[in-house]
Chains A and B, each alone.
Chain A
Amino acid sequence: MKLTEKQIALIDKALIKAGINYIDIRIELTDHIAVALEQKDERFEHHLKGYILQHKSELKKLNRRFIGIAMGKAYKQLFITMLKPLFLLITAAVFAIGYALNTFWGRANTILALFLIYMAICCLITSLSGANLFDATFNRKKQYSYSFGFSFIYVLMYCPTMYLFLHQEYCSDKWLVFCFTIVVALSLAMYVTAKKIGKKYKLQYHV
């Protein structure tokens, strides 16, 4: 028997209930379960319930492995972006400008400027790149699995950056400008990479 659109939606809903949230993972598993259930008799809901109950722990394990592989893929792409000559040039330029500003404008103003640039890029990542931090954490149903990798770095990076910003006295001027240059460069690389991967996923999944 062929499943109806309503029955497909029920499989999707059951997967979300089982903790499988990201769109790309759900699409693949929904099809897998649908084909398996199409081989059975007309008692669709009975078989769906049975399938989820029987495979729940395996599905969760699979979900974690999918996220892990997607994270690895995203980080590899992030590295490639960061090692591009143009990107290295931008990083060097940010450091040079920060260093010059520090000489003429003073440490506090320079660090504030770099911090604000970092925050602006984070807002871009959150709103435009497809790796929406809020959605990736709280509303995964709308997100692709790669976004988890970016939100993970974003959170990891946020705490030491805030600490450096609030306790500038622990570092020399040069080190502080260097650290904030790395933070700005990494956020920029994340934005560019997340946007690129997001576009590829949207084209692939048409969602």
Chain B
Amino acid sequence: MKNSQLYKGSLNTIIMKLLEENGRMYGYEITQKVKLITKGELNITEGALYPALHKLEADGLLDVEVEKVDNRMRKYYKLTESGEKETVNRLNELEEFIKNMQSLVNPLPNPDLQF
């Protein structure tokens, strides 16, 4: 994954956001969707994606459906009820984080803070 240190902490939120928007998705589909949205800037490897999916499933935030598609079994992930609530919390947290980072990296001139 590109700039893994920066993106690593947000991977679960990225996955949950995509599942919230798309209903249910399978592993490869998630990697391609992220690639498409970020215009190839962010490439999630299977080594990062699947452990995150399994961990979210173990925590009860994701549910799994296995179906036969094109001669093979495919595992779809979808948000559980608690997963949906958790997605809202995590997205709020991430937005707050981005806002804070933006004010730190690109501070607006504030006359009150000028001595």
| B89 CB-CB contact with A under 8 Å | no
Contact string against B for A residues 69-87, beta-carbon threshold 8 Å, 1 for contact and 0 otherwise: 1101100100000000000
- Shortest A2–chain B CB gap in Å is 6
**Interface hub of B69, B71, B73 (most chain A Cβ within 10 A):** B73
Minimum Cβ distance to chain B for residue A102 (Å): 41
**Segment 83-140 of A: residues with Cβ below 8 Å from B:** none
Greatest chain B CB density within 10 A among A3, A32, A55 is at A32
Give the chain B neighbours of A58 by CB distance below 8 A.
Answer: 45-47
- In B45-70, which residues have CB < 8 Å from any A CB? 45-47, 50-51, 54-55, 58, 64-66, 68-70
Judge whether A62 and B75 touch: CB under 8 Å. Answer: no
Closest approach, in angstroms, between the C-beta of A104 and any C-beta of chain B? 47
* Distance of A70 Cα from B68 Cα, bound (Å): 23
A172 within 8 A of B: no
Among the 9-residue stretches A23-31, A158-166, A178-186, A188-196, the one with 4 or more Cβ atoms under 8 Å from chain B is A23-31
Task: Tell me which residues from 191 to 206 in chain A have a Cβ below 8 Å from any Cβ of chain B.
Answer: 204-206
A72 touching B28 in the complex, CB below 8 Å, given contacts A4-B71, A58-B47: no
Q: Are A62 and B66 in contact (CB under 8 A)?
A: no
- Tell me the dominant secondary structure on chain A's binding face: helix
Complex Cα distance, B28 from A17, in Å, reads: 22
A206 → chain B closest CB, angstroms:
7
Given A4, A65, A73, which contacts B51 in the complex, CB threshold below 8 Å? Answer: A65
Inter-chain contact count A-B, CB under 8 Å? 67
CB of B27 within 8 A of CB of A69, answer: no
Given contacts A61-B47, A62-B47, contact A69 B75 (CB under 8 A): no
Q: Answer whether residue B35 sits at the interface, using C-beta atoms and an 8 A cutoff.
A: no
- The answer to whether A31 touches B51, judged by C-beta atoms less than 8 angstroms apart, is no
Please tell me if the beta carbons of B73 and A206 are within 8 angstroms of each other in the complex.
Answer: yes
A3 to B72 alpha-carbon distance, docked (Å): 9
| Besides A62-B47, A69-B51, 14 other A-B contacts (C-beta < 8 A) | A5-B71, A30-B73, A31-B73, A32-B28, A32-B46, A34-B72, A65-B54, A66-B50, A69-B54, A72-B58, A73-B58, A204-B64, A204-B65, A205-B66
A-B contact pairs, 15 of them (CB 8 A): A2-B71, A5-B71, A8-B71, A27-B73, A29-B46, A31-B28, A31-B72, A31-B75, A32-B28, A35-B28, A62-B47, A66-B51, A69-B51, A206-B68, A206-B73
Which B residues are closer than 8 A to A by beta carbons? 26-28, 45-47, 50-51, 54-55, 58, 64-66, 68-75
